[in-house]
Amino acid sequence: MNFTVIGIARGLDIEDVIPSFEAVIKGGISRLEITMNTPDADKIIKNSIAHFKGRALIGAGTVVTMEDADRALIAGAGFIVSPVLNVEMVKYLSKSRIPVYPGAFTPTEIYTAWEAGATMVKVFPVSRAGGAPYIKDVKAPLDSIKLLACGGVTIDNLKEYIECGTDGIALGNQLFDKTMIKNREFDKLTQTALSFTDIIKKNKRPDFKTF
């Protein structure tokens, strides 16, 4: 099974998105999310899809309502990520065959999200839930459910998440460092992305899904 990596761009200025995405794609991460609470999110999604056609899969994040989902789909988002569990929305998107990653925290929420049709359940914020050991504990009885760790995955603990059975990770500020972007140090973004992808490959996950 593929190991999924999603890069989360939140609150980036529209002129910074393309060079930032270019940088992390060079580092091997090309499943990229633009949060819907980013100014001009719809426009950024459309522009990014056109610019990176064939090189990246552009999705929408922070999708919490049906209205958010419709806006994202109209913009052309290739996948949907949410920090919460909206069962109606998950069922709607899964029937439309759009990959959907709803957020959940407890085993009951995780199971409910999966039964509703989630492509993968985003455990968020995973650091508050207990980190990698929590993923391992949940996976013990719910081993058929695919889990995406988000909110606390770092270069230092990534190996532990992989070893605990995590099916994928989502990276926000750990990948899109605002200071680097402000200083136009896009080469450093590439190096950060490479640091994550190198660890994934070295830990027997050369099958990780770029997009």
Rounded (10°) CA dihedral 59, 65, 68, 73: 60
CA 102 to chain CA centroid, Å, is 10
CB 94 within 8 A of CB 69: no
Residue 208 in any domain: the answer is no
Catalytic one among 15, 26, 33, 88?
33
Catalytic entry in 22, 53, 88, 122:
122
Answer yes or no: 122 catalytic: yes
Using a cut of 0.85, tell me whether the model's pTM lies above it.
Answer: yes
| 69-111 residue pLDDT tens | 999 999 999 999 999 999 999 999 999 999 999 999 999 999 9
Average pLDDT value over all residues in the chain? 95
What's the pLDDT score for residue 103? 98
- The answer to the question of residue 138 being in a domain is yes
Q: Give me the CATH number covering residue 150.
A: 3.20.20.70
How many structural domains does the chain have? 1
Containing structural domain, residue 36: 4-202
Residue 209 lies in a domain: no
DSSP string, 36-58: TTSTTHHHHHHHHHHHTTTT-EE
Please say whether the beta carbons of 77 and 58 come within 8 A: yes
Task: Judge whether 211 lies within some domain.
Answer: no
Residue 18 located in a structural domain: yes
Active site includes 67? no
Q: 152-178: per-residue pLDDT in tens?
A: 999 999 999 999 999 999 999 999 999
Q: Tell me the one-letter amino acid at 111.
A: Y
**Domain contains 210:** no
CB 138 within 8 A of CB 117: no
Chain length of the chain: 211
Helices (H), the chain: 14-26, 41-51, 66-75, 87-95, 107-116, 126-129, 132-139, 158-163, 178-182, 186-202
Residue bearing tokens 């522009």: 47
Number of other CB atoms surrounding residue 190 within 10 Å: 18
Assigned domain for 84 exists: yes
What is the per-residue pLDDT across 14-32, written as a single tens digit (0 to 9) for each?
A: 999 999 999 999 999 999 9
Among residues 49, 45, 80, 88, the alpha carbon closest in space to that of 62 is found at 80
What is the 8-class DSSP label of residue 209? B
Confirm whether 150 is domain-assigned: yes
